[in-house]
Structure 1
Amino acid sequence: MKLAAFTTLNKKARMIHNNVFRLQMLTFCIAIVLNLCGQKVVACDCVMYPVRSYIPASEFIFTVKVRQVHQESISYYKGYRATVEVVKVLKGQPLSGQELQFDAIDNSNCAFVFAANETHLLFAFKKDNKFYVYPCLYSGFRLN
């Protein structure tokens, strides 16, 4: 009787051990896959104020036509970098017709996404000879 109980207990212990090992291996494999295939994701939270409050704070305000959207090394970030042509200057120094390089200040879901041949109103600033669209502003109104 004691031998039968011991054998049953031993089988249950091996079964539990095997299940724990399988769970650990599954967790390890999922972690490896996520690290190899994972994308960097940056979230944000925007609080919008009336547009008149952004006019004094913006370095540049102009309408632009997107001439070229640059390819990204990670396909998730399509449209964050572009070459645009200034159509009309509302605030700042660039002249109409001038081409400017835009980049994303971050790759969050609040970053402005460019699309070729579209015309937009942009609230922007300049840093290190590149222009950036302020995140969480009224930039991006399509004008065409």
Structure 2
Amino acid sequence: MLKKFISRKGYTLVELAVVMLIISLVAAVAVPNLNKSYARRSLQSAALQLQQEIRTLGQISMQRETSGYYITFDLDNDSYTIHGPDGARTVAVPAGVDITHTNFNNHVINFSLRGTPTAGGLVTLQSDVTGDFKYVIVTPITGRTRVSDTPSNS
């Protein structure tokens, strides 16, 4: 008679432990991939932002027909400063992204009255997490900028 009233509703401790183990294994595999995905997105975002800053400063220089617009890169602090007659503004790249190299003279992009950079070159960004590189390439004369996974041959 006692067996009729004892019901087996719920899970045993062993069943719960197995489920927790499976969830832990899935999380251990998924979290590193999420970190790498986030790092890649941060790197791409930093490169696109720099590309847009270069384009915008060129446009402002052309509209105002004023010299004195330039961007300086601080490789030690992973930032760049946008200079113009109205003042300067410093932009830090996201954490985990480094500005590793520029081939501009003294790490400076100068803009002409026509809004084009006075010299072409590239800025190299690298992710600390994945080791991936992004290159912001600036062409001389036209001032065209692009983001690439490989450095330019020119």
- TM surpasses 0.5: no
Greater percentage in helix: 2
- Given the two structures, how large is their TM-score scaled by the length of structure 1? 0.33
- Given the two structures, how large is their TM-score scaled by the length of structure 2? 0.32
